[in-house]
Amino acid sequence: MNSGREYEVALILGDGIGPEISGAAVAVLEATGVSIRWREFAAGEAARQCHGHPLPAATLAAVRTIGVALKGPLLAPKQTGRLVVRHGDADVTYPSVNNALRRELEVFANVRPIRSFPGVPTPFPSLDVVIVREVTEDTYIGWEEMKGPDEAWAIKRITRQASERIFRFAFEYARARGRRKVTAGHKANVLNLTDGLFLASGRDVAVAFPEVPFDDCMIDALCLRLVKQPDTLDVLVLPNQYGDILTDLCAGIAGSLGLAPGANIGARVAFFEASHGAAPDIVGQGIANPIALILSGAMLLGHLGEAAAERRIWEAVARVLREGRHLTPDLGGHARTTDVTRAIIAALGRAEGVTGSA
């Protein structure tokens, strides 16, 4: 049952394959019957061309006001370079448009549920994890400098306040979603102060959630566990950089980057985006896998309180993958983005048992 409300949602189509998969996600969300008034805003290369800046102030202001957005991927820094956002008289430099968007909108938790799906070839059929990545600090604050011509430094910033906030978020998420446990990933044996503070914050917060089991794991050992015993892991709480890296590892072992959705949650704004990038190597070919962004859209519906519609999309995606007739090339098939989208919309109309969501 949908609530019958009409929601206003900001839409950023994105770069590269963004417009192709954003169109797919919008079509699937509309097919659930939830009423959404889409408000499109520019960011990325389209914005650079039309407005002279990849992150126009008007886009940021609109997303802040609306509070919820669906966002296609934006080109990575290797394609765009660093980004400067003007605040009054001061310039703030960010390492990428994505990084700027997250920090300007003050989101702090990047939530990425990644699971194996029956029908998708993987040696790890029991993978079902949720990465909760802290996105306001760590090495991705972009403080790098040359100390002479042959030496470069990067600052890794970890604070108790941001670390406790991300752990509280993760424990509340685990409790609300009935997840089995929370695991902190770190390298506190080497980075005693920074990762040490992150881990200590996790342990402090865990005391307030005695009903949610908590453990921790060195980041290298965590990679090993992910490929050896993925069923011993559930919600993974990670500083920014490890979270970025582990997402691709998890998506790869689940079968494709094209299956990994994501949410960016803050106190006032939440925006939803696939974990993958703009995939410039396949742009315009019509073969991009839309599922990660479609599932991100499902998470958006859940965030709006439309839990039944969220669950229906996860079920429809699971069904299409299990049937195996409409798979894009990244999953070993020959289907096009539009074929997969149509198949998911058709599956939405067919009832079946609950396969679960994040």
* Residues binding ligand ATP (CB under 6 A): 76, 257-258, 276-279, 281-282, 288-289, 292, 330
Give 245's contacts (C-beta < 8 A, 6+ positions apart). Answer: none
Report H helices in the chain.
18-31, 45-51, 57-66, 77-80, 97-104, 160-177, 194-206, 219-228, 240-254, 291-304, 307-323, 337-348
- What is the C-alpha separation between 340 and 287, in angstroms, rounded? 10
Backbone torsions φ then ψ of 295, nearest 5 degrees: -70, -30
Which CB sits closer to ligand ATP, 81 or 305? 81
The answer to whether the beta carbons of residues 55 and 101 sit under 8 Å apart is yes
Which CB sits closer to ligand ATP, 201 or 275? 275
Nearest distance from C-beta of residue 234 to ligand ATP, angstroms: 24
Nearest distance from C-beta of residue 231 to ligand ATP, angstroms: 26
Nearest distance from C-beta of residue 83 to ligand ATP, angstroms: 14
- What is the C-alpha separation between 319 and 322, in angstroms, rounded? 5
The burial class, CB within 10 Å (0-12 / 13-18 / 19+), for 205 is buried
Nearest distance from C-beta of residue 90 to ligand ATP, angstroms: 27
Provide Rg for the chain, Cα atoms.
20
N-terminal to C-terminal alpha carbon distance within the chain: 19
Residue of 107, 130, 132, 112 lying closest to 270 (CA atoms): 107
SS3 state of residue 41: coil
Nearest distance from C-beta of residue 151 to ligand ATP, angstroms: 25
Which CB sits closer to ligand ATP, 10 or 279? 279
Residue of 111, 109, 160 lying closest to 260 (CA atoms): 111
Which CB sits closer to ligand ATP, 269 or 340? 340
Side-chain-side CA neighbours of 303 within 13 Å: the count stands at: 25
- What is the C-alpha separation between 166 and 210, in angstroms, rounded? 17
Which CB sits closer to ligand ATP, 125 or 329? 329
Which CB sits closer to ligand ATP, 184 or 246? 246
DSSP letters, 261-274, are --EEEESS-EEE--
Which CB sits closer to ligand ATP, 113 or 277? 277
Residue nearest to ligand ATP (CB): 277
Nearest distance from C-beta of residue 275 to ligand ATP, angstroms: 8
Nearest distance from C-beta of residue 323 to ligand ATP, angstroms: 19
Nearest distance from C-beta of residue 292 to ligand ATP, angstroms: 6
Which CB sits closer to ligand ATP, 44 or 277? 277
Cα–Cα distance list, 312 to 71, 125, 345 (Å): 21, 22, 10
Element of type H or E holding 94? strand 90-94
Nearest distance from C-beta of residue 45 to ligand ATP, angstroms: 13
Which CB sits closer to ligand ATP, 76 or 223? 76
DSSP secondary structure letter of residue 138 = B
Nearest distance from C-beta of residue 55 to ligand ATP, angstroms: 15
Which CB sits closer to ligand ATP, 16 or 202? 16
